[in-house]
Chain A
């Protein structure tokens, strides 16, 4: 079982520079198994870049990223996904021309090669699994709807559901409540609290009320470095955090 030195995800001394600009600078970040970590920070702090680095979308310039003690820098995106890391994008990234059911079905971690996809059978187990997830993300009545016709909040849920279909050990959610109504936000918080029973989660979020509802541990990024880390209470009273958020 896990102990505090046996991290699920460990970023050590990670730096990435774009033409000399260090978007992330010598960052150390450790995520435990079963942890829900919220990353906050002002615009341009490097939050999304950190997720991009973990999921292989951007290559690290220096440093190491280890997932379950395995180096994952240099792996292809789909290989990292197969290790057990799922990623939700900032703007809902779903297949608009397909139905909700098909969106979820495609995210199932089976039949991922050409032959597997060509001869894929929609078995009872597949249908059951899709329904199970659809219930969790409040879309079970909309399985036949084309994803394009969903509301913005429903699209966000659908993408979270697509991650859950993959059953990753680590979910990374980039602003999951952006553009959601108040009631949708509450339901999302409920969903997240359900998810963390079985998964580790990294969330990037701006909405402080939402963060308060879900946060266990918060990391504040500023200019590519960690400014503060701790529970919500500590963070809210940290004067440096106030400074970067409110200005000088």
Chain B
């Protein structure tokens, strides 16, 4: 009786399982700790891509500023780790021991007030989600209530990304400036730089990513998910069906921000620092490209797209560092022109029908009408 194409969802579940098998079993066995940590880093971008599937693929809200939320989540985590790394014992050579090193270099003599609560891990963990969501809420509420949308909204998100980068770089006494917050060491005394810690963090990252993917799948499968598609196609009609469209857009934008922020926090933990270079316009646009290459209408497609593009980026830029940006641009143009629904669209439109013709036909009966 369900109208949602059940086959498609089941196929998606199979995809989830296959991906989980690859990430959780095959990769940890076959690659070394360094490469695995690299995959873990890519996976943190996949969080952003999952959020983009919801807000861009399904709702049609193109955000060119997801780096803001990724960065805010990452910075909240980094602030906690930095404070733990800046104990009086560790920083006794500073003129003011007990504050982060970059503050000391910038002649700060006490911890700024907004840093103080980040001494507590529970506070920091809440802030990882809450700070980006509040930022996303303020931005999206102000825009969507005034019915600013489409390309104008995209430009504004891009401006916000630029503003935040400039703010972080300019206020280096409070933020660590262009270097970011570096030299992170321990989480409640547990050294996050060791290989074993990296394995554990990698698995935690996988677990959280799959949690996000299932959350996204739940949202897409609900009536709200169909409403998002409706908003994307005919926003006016949704309004004249009695819905306050702005609320739904704000919701999905905040959800995407929250998911991106979890990715940012996992980035900080696995890579060991956070800097403005993951906040600004360029990383934000790169994240959109990851999502587009994988397929912006497919959660799993976006994750795989992120992994593939990053893998290509790493291997390509090891050999031809100066050509990478051209390759990336070419890739994006190719996606837009040749397969606008990304790799996932290529799979469902091209590969799947061929598989079906090759013997699996008959297994896919025409869906029965709703009872």
Query: Does A132 sit within 8 A of B, measured CB to CB?
Result: no
Within 8 A of B (CB), among A118-165: 118-120, 122, 127, 130-131, 141, 143-144, 162
Pick from A63-71, A101-109, A176-184 the stretch touching chain B: A101-109
**In contact, B242 and A120 (Cβ under 8 angstroms):** no
Question: B227 — which chain A residues lie within 8 A by C-beta?
Answer: 106, 117
Distance, CA A11 to CA B223, complexed state (A): 36
Closest residue of chain B to A117 (Cβ to Cβ) is B224
**In contact, B370 and A78 (Cβ under 8 angstroms):** no
B233, B369, B371: which contacts A95 (Cβ < 8 A)? B233
Question: B38 — which chain A residues lie within 8 A by C-beta?
Answer: none
Do A95 and B240 contact each other (CB < 8 Å), given the known contacts A101-B3, A114-B251, A143-B3?
A: no
**In contact, B248 and A117 (Cβ under 8 angstroms):** yes
Distance, CA A130 to CA B230, complexed state (A): 18
**In contact, B224 and A118 (Cβ under 8 angstroms):** yes
**In contact, B370 and A97 (Cβ under 8 angstroms):** no
Distance, CA A78 to CA B242, complexed state (A): 4
**In contact, B222 and A117 (Cβ under 8 angstroms):** yes
Query: Does A93 sit within 8 A of B, measured CB to CB?
Result: yes
Pick from A21-29, A81-89, A203-211, A239-247 the stretch touching chain B: A81-89
Query: Does B347 sit within 8 A of A, measured CB to CB?
Result: no
Question: B232 — which chain A residues lie within 8 A by C-beta?
Answer: 97
**In contact, A77 and B239 (Cβ under 8 angstroms):** yes
**In contact, B223 and A144 (Cβ under 8 angstroms):** no
Cβ of B59 to closest chain A Cβ, rounded Å: 12
Closest residue of chain B to A165 (Cβ to Cβ) is B241
Cβ of A21 to closest chain B Cβ, rounded Å: 23
Do A127 and B371 contact each other (CB < 8 Å), given the known contacts A109-B242, A117-B222, A117-B223?
A: yes
Within 8 A of A (CB), among B202-236: 219, 222-224, 226-227, 229-230, 232-234, 236
Do A98 and B242 contact each other (CB < 8 Å), given the known contacts A93-B237, A120-B223, A127-B371?
A: no
Closest residue of chain A to B368 (Cβ to Cβ) is A144
The size bracket of the interface on B is 20 to 34
Query: Does B243 sit within 8 A of A, measured CB to CB?
Result: yes
**In contact, B226 and A98 (Cβ under 8 angstroms):** yes
Query: How many residues on the A side are at the interface (Cβ–Cβ under 8 A)?
Result: 40
A93, A98, A99, A101: which contacts B236 (Cβ < 8 A)? A93
Question: A141 — which chain B residues lie within 8 A by C-beta?
Answer: 369
Question: B229 — which chain A residues lie within 8 A by C-beta?
Answer: 95, 97-98
Do A112 and B243 contact each other (CB < 8 Å), given the known contacts A117-B227, A122-B2?
A: yes
**In contact, B237 and A119 (Cβ under 8 angstroms):** no
Cβ of B232 to closest chain A Cβ, rounded Å: 8
Question: A78 — which chain B residues lie within 8 A by C-beta?
Answer: 239-240, 242-245
Cβ of B249 to closest chain A Cβ, rounded Å: 10
**In contact, B242 and A112 (Cβ under 8 angstroms):** yes
Query: Does A19 sit within 8 A of B, measured CB to CB?
Result: no
**In contact, A120 and B370 (Cβ under 8 angstroms):** no
A82, A99, A118: which contacts B242 (Cβ < 8 A)? A82
Closest residue of chain A to B239 (Cβ to Cβ) is A77
Query: Does B247 sit within 8 A of A, measured CB to CB?
Result: yes
Distance, CA A245 to CA B156, complexed state (A): 49
Query: Does B323 sit within 8 A of A, measured CB to CB?
Result: no
Beyond A78-B242, A98-B226, A112-B242, list 14 extra A-B contacts (CB 8 Å): A81-B241, A95-B233, A97-B229, A97-B232, A105-B223, A107-B241, A109-B242, A114-B224, A114-B247, A114-B248, A120-B223, A127-B370, A144-B370, A166-B241
Q: Which residues of A are interface residues toward B (Cβ below 8 A)?
A: 55, 57, 76-78, 81-82, 86-87, 89, 93-99, 101-102, 105-107, 109, 111-114, 117-120, 122, 127, 130-131, 141, 143-144, 162, 166
Q: Which residues of B are interface residues toward A (Cβ below 8 A)?
A: 1-3, 219, 222-224, 226-227, 229-230, 232-234, 236-245, 247-248, 251, 367, 369-371
Chain A to chain B contacts (Cβ below 8 Å), 14 pairs: A55-B240, A78-B244, A81-B240, A86-B240, A93-B234, A94-B234, A98-B233, A101-B3, A106-B223, A106-B227, A106-B230, A114-B248, A120-B223, A144-B370
